[in-house]
Amino acid sequence: MQFQFNSDSSVMGTENVAERIEAQLRERLARFEDRLSRLEVHVRDENGPKGGGDDKACMIEARIKGEKPIGVTGHAGDVDSAARIAANTLVQRLERHFGKGDRHKHDPSPDKVI
In tens digits, the chain (114 residues) has pLDDT values of 899 988 877 666 556 888 888 999 999 999 999 999 999 999 988 876 666 677 889 999 999 998 899 999 999 988 889 999 999 999 999 999 888 555 555 555 666 666
Read off the DSSP letter of residue 114. Answer: -
Taking a C-beta distance cutoff of 8 angstroms, is the pair 70, 90 a contact?
yes
DSSP designation for 92: H
Calpha distance 50→1 (Å, rounded): 36
Which CATH architecture describes the domain 2-100? 2-Layer Sandwich (3.30)
Q: Residue 84: which residues within 8 A CB-CB, separation 6 or more?
A: 24, 74, 76
Burial annotation 7-44 (CB, 10 A radius, 16+ → b, else e): beebbeeeeebbeebbeebeebbeebeebbeebbbbbb
pLDDT of residue 60: 95
Supply the pLDDT for residue 54. Answer: 74
* Three-point CA angle 50, 76, 41, nearest 5°: 100
Q: Is 86 left (phi over 0), alpha (psi -120 to 50) or beta?
A: alpha
Residues β-bridged to residue 35: none
Which pLDDT score is estimated for 47? 75
Q: What is the pLDDT of residue 55?
A: 82
Note the pLDDT of residue 58: 92
